[in-house]
Amino acid sequence: MYKEKIMIIAMLLVLVFNVVAPVQVSHAASLNSVVSTLGASTVPGTDGGGSSGGSNIFEKLFSFLFDKILGPILNIFDGGKAATTSPDSPVKVTPLPSGDGSSVTGSSGVLRGKVIVVDPGHGGSNPGAVANNTRESDNNLAVSKKLRDKLTSAGAKVVMTRETDRTVAAEGSSLGQELAARVNIAEANKADIFVSVHSNSNPNPAIYGAMTFYPSGKSSQLALKVQNGIVKATGAVDKGTSPATFHVLRNTSMPSILVEMGFVTNAGEARKLQEDSYRNKMAQGIFDGIVSYFAN
């Protein structure tokens, strides 16, 4: 029995030396891996015919050697720092507050208190340009109402010349009377700016793009700001700005523009002008231009 103990201790020391040497170099082994290695190579299975006394002595020596002496010295328990980040230990994550997704455009308050008249061109018995199953008056009204909502949210006082599919003057009035009725609304409300919204047409269906008109000698900056806003928001072809003598431009005393959003005679542009998402982009572009105008 004594000789058996001496042999076991000698074998243990040899095995410990073989295992501890690489551990000292890497410092990466865990106690579990060392136990597995030693157990697999030295401890006989229950069906191997080994004596239980030898196994018990081995286990006690092994436990004493690693738990009391080698473990504290080599710091191999728990595998060093790597063991402190167990995947079973949840990491507390504090999420950032989510935004509300709202646009900050116009949040500076430059539109607060401004009186803006939005004029959806045509309407009622005068649908304007009609092509590719699209009526100009419908496009004009849809975008104008979206623009109204954006301006109102930014603090502006918005006056619409029409909010339904109708003429502004009494039905049966002349074209001159119809246009004069729109100008009169702007003048009566002492508007800061007047924005007339239209859709274009051309005998050549290949022509497309957005453009903005202004009265000769004034309002060119408003037109430029709005045109730039439209192009940026929609990606429309930029057909630029130009002076014009339209009735609603030459007869209004405040800065005035007439926006031509696109050509209903062009199939692709007509399709876009009927899309709610594109209409929203168009309204956003006009809105951004107006904010930029008042901000400067």
Mean pLDDT, residues 232-254 taken together: 97
Q: Predicted confidence band at 178 (pLDDT cuts at 50, 70, 90)?
A: very high
Under 8 Å CB-to-CB from 41, ≥6 apart: which residues?
15
> What's the topology of domain 115-295?
Aminopeptidase (3.40.630)
State residue 21's pLDDT score.
Answer: 45
Under 8 Å CB-to-CB from 127, ≥6 apart: which residues?
135, 136, 137, 138
State residue 3's pLDDT score.
Answer: 53
Name residue 80's amino acid.
Answer: G
DSSP state string for 54-95: HHHHHHHHHHHIIIIIIHHHHT-GGGGGGGGG-TTSPPP--P
Lowest mean pLDDT among 72-81, 87-96, 137-146, 195-204: 87-96
**How are beta strands 210-215 and 256-263 bridged, if at all?**
antiparallel
Which carries the bigger pLDDT value, residue 47 or residue 173?
173
The highest-confidence range among 65-69, 78-82, 139-143, by mean pLDDT, is 139-143
DSSP state string for 208-254: --EEEEEETTS-HHHHHHHHHHHHHHH---EEEEEEE--HHHHT-SS
Q: Predicted confidence band at 94 (pLDDT cuts at 50, 70, 90)?
A: very low
Q: Quick one: CA dihedral 230, 147, 192, 295, positive or negative?
A: negative
Q: Is 10 exposed, middle or buried (0-12, 13-18, 19+ CB in 10 A)?
A: exposed
Question: Which segments of the chain belong to CATH 3.40.630.40?
Answer: 115-295
Q: How many CB atoms lie within 10 A of CB 115?
A: 16
Q: How many CB atoms lie within 10 A of CB 232?
A: 15
Given a cut of 70, whether residue 45 has pLDDT beyond it is no
Given a cut of 90, whether residue 271 has pLDDT beyond it is yes
Lookup: tokens for 49: 């015919």
Q: How many CB atoms lie within 10 A of CB 216?
A: 13
State residue 8's pLDDT score.
Answer: 60
State residue 89's pLDDT score.
Answer: 32
Given a cut of 70, whether residue 215 has pLDDT beyond it is yes
Asked if 187 and 145 touch (Cβ cutoff 8 Å), the reply is: no
Percent of the chain with pLDDT over 90: 62
State residue 296's pLDDT score.
Answer: 84
pLDDT digits (tens, 9 = 90+) for 125-158: 999 999 999 999 999 999 999 999 999 999 999 9
Asked if 139 and 146 touch (Cβ cutoff 8 Å), the reply is: no
Mean pLDDT, residues 150-174 taken together: 96
- Count H helices, E strands: the chain? 10, 8
Asked if 256 and 262 touch (Cβ cutoff 8 Å), the reply is: no
At 195, which helix (H) or strand (E)?
strand 193-200
